[in-house]
Amino acid sequence: MKLKNYLLAFCFTSVITIAHADSRLQQAITEQAITEQSIKAEVTKGLIQSLIELEQVVNINSGTMNFAGVKQVGLVFKKQFEQLGFETQWLDGSEFNRAGHLVAKYGDSGPKILMIGHLDTVFAKNDAFQSFQRINDQQIAGPGITDMKGGDVIIVAALRALKLAGVLDNVSIQVVMTGDEESSGRPLAKSKKALIDAAKWADIALGFEDGDGDIGTAVVARRGSVGWTLEVTGKPAHSSQIFREDVGFGAVFEIARILNSYREELASVENLTFNPGLLLGGTRLDAQVKDGKGYAFGKSNVIAKTAKVSGGIRAISPQQLNDAKKVMQKITADNLAHTSAKLSFDQGYPPMAPTKENYQLLALYNKASQDLDYGEVVAVDPRRAGAADISFAATHLKMSLDGLGLMGSGGHTKDEVADISSLEKNINKAALLIYRLSLQHERSQQ
């Protein structure tokens, strides 16, 4: 009888516990839905302000080498972050020959999220393409409107919506808006220090570039971009003596052999590309590789003494890049008779590898998009996404996702046009993603 009573009491207690758990779960679901509706409402209310802010910064020329313009754009965003309660700092870039960077920080609880933007554009101060233009109800144009002043505006607008909805305190945020994404300052150890320091602090990085311009994609992987230089020397002699055992093949034949061997060995490797962009050969050279130009002197009756080629290589992961370098160095060292060659690599942009965690972050972003009835978001083909600042951060934190900015077409050209509808959509998606990351973090701590 006592056992029976005990079992009845246990079952009754279990039913009550399950009922309470179900009730708490339902309450949490309801509270989340209410909060997300509030976030969405704040985004909608703030849309006109966001468009005004976008027009303001687009109308300030901030070509990378226009230091005053880059800083002016930075100070516009600095003021906006301060109005949201962020601690801000303008980091002077004189040590790396650039304008500098804007860093903004908020909060000390919840997940640590790094949000990445950049202030500079490819359009110089004297460029004819200088101002914001509304083309029609669906399109707006202007220098850097998608790459990436629109993305910067989305960062501010998403954080503002979270603040007004009362949930920004549930996350810790660092925003880094660099002033040299389009043309990195040197040395990279100094120009990328603020970004890397923030990445080491963070758990998650969100980049607000425009990806491939398709609102149905986001970037889980970016190929790195590294420059390389190949220098070859041969034995000069009268051309009638070429191929003799004591004369050899000359610098031009050797550099041709090396380049073709690179192609034969590596052209079929998925997501790996490399391109020789400037080639000079002859009796003597003046190759200003940094400026993309050079001078060569040679004669058809003289075997070329020297040859030089500069190019770039893009790889999907650090391992792929290292493997390719080894193959290229091996080919370079296997010289034709009476020739020698040296292959060197710049530091460049590291790859952002397509990790499992990045795909998990994409899944959360995709869920937010579908819950907002905006449709599916899938990973962009990395061949369609160039190098970006997030690549310097990705190796230092758990997960990364890029391509969350303003969508459009014609980036880096005078036909740069943005899709207005993507502004509200991507503000909402970013805000919901950050809010849901805070909930996920809270549950993991319970």
Q: Give CA–CA dist 13/10, Å, rounded.
A: 5
Give pLDDT tens digits for 316-354. 999 999 999 999 999 999 999 999 999 999 988 999 999
Mean local confidence (pLDDT), 223-235: 96
> Other C-beta atoms within 10 Å of 32: how many?
13
187 pLDDT higher than 80: yes
The confidence score (pLDDT) of residue 269 equals 97
E-strand spans in 36-92? 87-92
Whether residue 21 has pLDDT greater than 90: no
How large a percentage of the chain has pLDDT more than 70?
94
Mean pLDDT across 244-251: 97
Residue tagged 């310097």 (tokens): 392
**Mean pLDDT estimate for the chain:** 94
Query: How many other CB atoms are found less than 10 A from the CB of residue 186?
Result: 15
pLDDT at position 29: 85
> Residue 415's pLDDT is what?
95
Whether residue 8 has pLDDT greater than 90: no
The full set of domain ranges for the chain reads 39-222+351-445, 226-345
Which residues, in sequence order, are CB contacts of 172 under 8 Å at separation 6+? Answer: 106, 107, 108, 109, 110, 111, 112, 113
User: What confidence category does residue 28 fall into, taking pLDDT thresholds of 50, 70 and 90?
Assistant: confident
Task: Report d(CA 265, CA 277) in Å as an integer.
Answer: 19
Q: Over the stretch 369-382, which tens digit does the pLDDT of each residue have?
A: 999 999 999 999 99
Lowest-confidence pick of 5-19, 255-269, 273-287, 322-336:
5-19
Q: What integer pLDDT is reported at residue 20 of this predicted model?
A: 56
pLDDT of residue 288: 72
Integer CA distances (angstroms), 244 to 91, 299, 338, in order: 61, 19, 10
Work out the average pLDDT over 289-307: 89
In the three-class reduction of DSSP (H, G, I as helix; E, B as strand; rest coil), residue 353 is classed as coil
| Closest by CA position to 168, among listed 230, 238, 110, 252 | 110
Structure-token match 């060659």, residue found: 341
Question: Which amino acid, 121?
Answer: T
Q: Any idea which fold 39-222+351-445 has?
A: Aminopeptidase (3.40.630)
Is the sign of the CA dihedral 385, 390, 393, 397 positive or negative? negative
Classify 295 as helix, strand or coil.
strand
Rounded to an integer, the average pLDDT of 398-411 is: 97
Which pTM value belongs to this model? 0.89
Of 5-9, 120-124, 231-235, 259-263, which range is least confident?
5-9
Measured distance CA(382)–CA(354) in Å, rounded? 9
What CATH number does the domain located at 226-345 have?
3.30.70.360
Is the pLDDT at 304 greater than 90, yes or no? yes
Question: Which class for 391: exposed (0-12), middle (13-18), buried (19 or more C-beta within 10 A)?
Answer: buried
Residue type, 360: Q
Domains 39-222+351-445 and 226-345 in one fold: no
- How far apart CA 388 and CA 104 sit, in angstroms, is 20
> Taking residues 121-126, what's their average pLDDT?
95
Q: Is the Cβ–Cβ distance between 56 and 72 less than 8 Å?
A: no
- Neighbour tally for 49: CB within 10 Å: 14
Share of the chain above pLDDT 90, in %: 88
Mean pLDDT of all residues in 154-174: 98
